Each structure stands twice: as structure tokens, then as C-alpha cells.
């Protein structure tokens, strides 16, 4: 039976993986939260890998507070870069395939067509820089890796844009949302299914991949779809990024090209609005 370690086991993506992986009885999944396994603790990582024989490690552990990272740069790099390096080194020694999650924020957003895997990276905030460093350290230390860059993740778990909008929709009569940043909202359960497909088909096509739901929109468009789908009445106003200043700059355009992953994994990628409907339905059931 293949043994799969999921780090950051209590986070949004890990919890989606748990839901999606549940019916797959031919794999044993070990979900390790940050108190079970701190990926920045080299010794702990080495011992954890030594005591178990994993076939895969899915790294869902990350420092994800994009704005806070501007003032906690050291911590962001420790988790997103050194943590990833620790896992890569342990994977090499133990012959484990690493599936690591990265971000559209490795790009500067100046492009006008979707970003391919080989396009030049140029992060414009600390979080993006720390995630890029993590990618580089994995590539320097390991060859059996999949790095999946994704964007605008949401689900019924944790805190994310969908849940924030639903909360604000209950609290307010009107809301201003940025309309000049374009990207692809991605349901974390769809990403989880793509990750599991890599394992199920035992792919050896290692490398960097982009995965996001198909289609794209602005944060305003995303919010509008959320309110329409959940029948929330609210006055929604479009604003520009310069009217909503945040500590971290965000790329204006971060749509990822999915061509490579569709071809290599023979994937059908759901349209973002269809997945949003599924997520809202699931939230309403809970």
C-alpha cells in the first residue's frame, strides 16, 4: 500500500485532500499538522521520514498570510523556503516523491496573456519571493518533484475569499471590491483531485505545473458570482487597486496557463463558476 504524507495537515488544501482521498482505500494518508511535524525543524523532519516509509509527500504546509509577510519576512522564508528545502532533502534520502504547492504570486502580473510554466518569475511581494525561493531550493535538491502553482484558492475550510464575502454579505449593505486584478478562482477540492491523479497514474513527468480552475475574472467578478449564487442582496461597487491599499502589492494579471497539466495528466479542469456553485452548495449543507 502506498503511503502518502500530507504536511500542513489542518490547512485548507489538506482538509480538501482528506475529503477527496477518503474513498481511496488503496493508499494510506498521514495528515501531519504543524504540531505533529514542523517542516522548519530539520531534525524532526528527518526523524519523521526515517520512522515511516512514505512514497509521496504532499507539502500543504505554508506561510500564507500575504500582507503580514511584509513585516514577517524571516518567518515567511523560514516556512516557505527552508521548510520546503528540508522536505526536499528528506525526500531525496528516502526516495520519496515530493508534490509541492506554489503560487501565481511568483509572477509580477505585467503579462497580458496567461503565464506558462517557463515564463520569467518576478515576485512583487515577500510571500511570492519566499514561495519562489522554496521552488528553487526543491529544484536544487531533488529531481523527483512536482511543483503545482495555483491561484485564488477557496473552499469550505479555513479563511478564504468565498467565506469572507459570505460573512460580509451578512453584515453589510454595500461593499467595494477591486476590479483591476485578474486571476482564476480555484476550488481547493479540484486542485486536490489533480494532486491525487498524479499519484494514481504514478506519473514520472516531474517538473513545474500550473493548476487553476478554467476561465478568469476579477475579485469584483468573483464577489458578484458569490453573491448571485448564494442569493445575497448587496450593493457591490468596483474599485481600483489604488483605492484599496494593502501592505503587500498584488499582481494585476496572474492567469495561469493549464495547457501542460491538461496534456500530461489528461485532466478535465472545471470552469470556475461551476466549481463555485459546488462549493456554495457544500457550505450550505454543513
Ligand X SMILES: NC(=O)c1ccc[n+]([C@@H]2O[C@H](COP(=O)([O-])OP(=O)(O)OC[C@H]3O[C@@H](n4cnc5c(N)ncnc54)[C@H](OP(=O)(O)O)[C@@H]3O)[C@@H](O)[C@H]2O)c1
Interaction site with ligand X (CB under 6 A): 7-8, 10-13, 33-34, 37-40, 60-64, 79, 83, 101, 103, 131, 150-153, 158
The rounded radius of gyration (Å) of the Cα atoms in the chain is: 18
> Which residue's C-beta sits nearest to ligand X?
11
65, HSE (Cβ side, Cα atoms, 13 Å): 10
199 versus 212: smaller Cβ distance to ligand X:
212
Task: Note if 115 is an active site residue.
Answer: no
Asked if residues 106 and 123 have their Cβ atoms less than 8 Å apart, the reply is yes
Minimum gap (Å) between residue 102 Cβ and ligand X: 7
CA distance 68 to 7: 22
Instruction: Give the single-character DSSP code of 97.
Output: E
9 versus 169: smaller Cβ distance to ligand X:
9
Nearest to 38 by CA among 2, 69, 10: 10
Using the structure block, give the residue that is written with the C-alpha cell 504536511. Answer: 7
147 versus 199: smaller Cβ distance to ligand X:
147
207 versus 237: smaller Cβ distance to ligand X:
207
Minimum gap (Å) between residue 81 Cβ and ligand X: 11
How many CB atoms neighbour CB 2 within 10 A? 14
148 versus 236: smaller Cβ distance to ligand X:
148
What does each C-alpha distance from 57 to 91, 97, 274 come to in angstroms?
8, 6, 30
10 versus 111: smaller Cβ distance to ligand X:
10
Helix (H) or strand (E) holding 174: strand 174-178
Out of 56, 63, 115, 127, pick the active-site residue.
Answer: 127
Minimum gap (Å) between residue 271 Cβ and ligand X: 18
Q: Give the cell for residue 192.
A: 486536490
Minimum gap (Å) between residue 235 Cβ and ligand X: 26
Nearest to 222 by CA among 282, 273, 172: 273
Instruction: Give the single-character DSSP code of 30.
Output: E
Asked if residues 213 and 186 have their Cβ atoms less than 8 Å apart, the reply is yes
Minimum gap (Å) between residue 105 Cβ and ligand X: 7
Minimum gap (Å) between residue 98 Cβ and ligand X: 12
What does each C-alpha distance from 154 to 13, 119, 165, 265, 278 come to in angstroms?
9, 25, 11, 23, 12
Residues annotated as catalytic are 127
Amino acid at each position: 500500500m502506498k503511503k502518502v504524507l500530507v504536511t500542513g495537515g489542518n490547512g485548507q488544501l489538506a482538509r480538501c485532500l482528506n475529503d477527496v482521498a477518503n474513498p481511496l482505500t488503496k493508499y494510506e494518508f498521514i495528515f501531519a499538522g504543524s504540531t505533529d511535524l514542523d517542516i522548519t525543524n530539520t531534525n524532526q523532519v528527518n526523524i519523521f521520514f526515517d520512522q515511516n516509509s512514505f512514497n509521496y509527500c504532499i507539502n500543504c504546509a505554508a506561510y500564507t498570510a500575504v500582507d503580514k509577510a511584509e513585516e514577517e519576512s524571516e518567518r515567511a522564508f523560514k516556512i516557505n523556503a527552508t521548510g520546503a528545502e528540508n522536505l526536499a532533502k528528506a525526500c531525496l534520502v528516502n526516495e520519496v516523491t515530493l508534490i509541492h504547492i506554489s503560487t501565481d504570486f511568483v509572477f509580477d502580473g505585467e503579462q497580458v496573456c496567461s503565464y506558462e510554466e517557463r515564463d520569467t518569475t518576478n515576485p512583487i511581494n515577500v510571500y511570492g519571493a519566499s514561495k519562489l525561493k522554496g521552488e528553487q531550493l526543491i529544484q536544487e535538491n531533488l529531481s523527483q518533484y512536482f511543483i503545482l502553482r495555483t491561484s485564488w484558492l477557496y473552499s469550505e475550510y479555513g479563511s478564504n475569499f468565498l467565506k469572507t464575502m459570505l460573512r460580509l454579505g451578512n453584515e453589510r449593505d454595500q461593499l467595494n471590491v477591486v476590479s483591476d486584478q485578474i486571476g482564476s478562482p480555484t476550488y481547493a477540492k479540484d486542485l486536490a483531485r489533480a494532486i491525487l491523479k498524479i499519484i494514481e497514474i504514478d506519473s514520472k513527468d516531474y517538473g513545474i505545473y500550473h493548476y487553476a480552475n478554467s476561465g478568469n475574472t476579477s475579485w469584483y467578478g468573483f464577489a458578484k458570482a458569490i453573491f448571485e449564487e448564494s442569493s445575497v442582496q448587496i450593493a457591490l461597487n468596483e474599485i481600483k487597486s489604488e483605492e484599496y491599499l494593502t501592505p503587500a502589492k498584488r499582481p494585476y494579471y496572474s492567469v495561469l496557463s493549464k495547457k501542460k497539466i491538461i496534456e500530461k495528466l489528461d485532466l478535465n479542469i472545471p470552469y470556475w463558476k461551476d466549481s463555485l456553485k459546488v462549493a456554495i452548495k457544500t457550505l450550505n449543507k454543513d
